[in-house]
Amino acid sequence: MTIKYEWRGDFDNTALNALHAEGFGHPVPQTDWRKRVERHSLGWVCAWEDGSLIGFVNVAWDGGVHAFILDTVVAQQRQRSGVGGALVAAAAQGARAAKCHWLHVDFEEHLRSFYFDACGFEETTAGLIAL
């Protein structure tokens, strides 16, 4: 089966809310993702298989040279199959095409090998304030 990756792909809020709930293990929200990404994002990548949304990553930015990976999610049946890495690679390509110089990500410890090994991020010193 062929997986199609789309930069700034068209998606349905219902499908993305269901994917997000499945991927992050929470109840299905009623988030207006379309409004959110159109207002705050440089772009996003959708992964499609047989017409179904199986992956998504959001690329927020500062309006300049910094882009930020958020909400990377892959359907459970396609996890550990390369879909997540391909999503991040497409996100990096989109950010590069927009003339960004840096792509940032933060993550929980259990995702360390995914972002460093599978996606090629490098460890840096960073700071965080929990709000």
Residue 86 forms part of a structural domain: yes
Record the pTM. Answer: 0.93
Collapsing DSSP states into helix, strand and coil, what is residue 31? coil
Q: Can you tell me the distance from the alpha carbon of 9 to that of 35, in angstroms, rounded to the nearest whole number?
A: 14
For the chain, the 3-state helix, strand and coil shares in percent, each to the nearest 5, are 35, 25, 35
Question: How far, in whole angstroms, is CA 18 from its chain's centroid?
Answer: 15
Q: Based on the structure, what is the number of domains in the chain?
A: 1
Residue 89 forms part of a structural domain: yes
Residues 89-120: tens digit of each pLDDT: 999 999 999 999 999 999 999 999 999 999 99
Residues 33-84: tens digit of each pLDDT: 999 999 999 999 999 999 999 999 999 999 999 999 999 999 999 999 999 9
Residue 72 structural domain: 3-118
Query: The tokens 């003339």 sit on which residue?
Result: 99
Residue 125 forms part of a structural domain: no
Query: What is the secondary structure of 89-106 as a DSSP string?
Result: HHHHHHHHHTT--EEE--
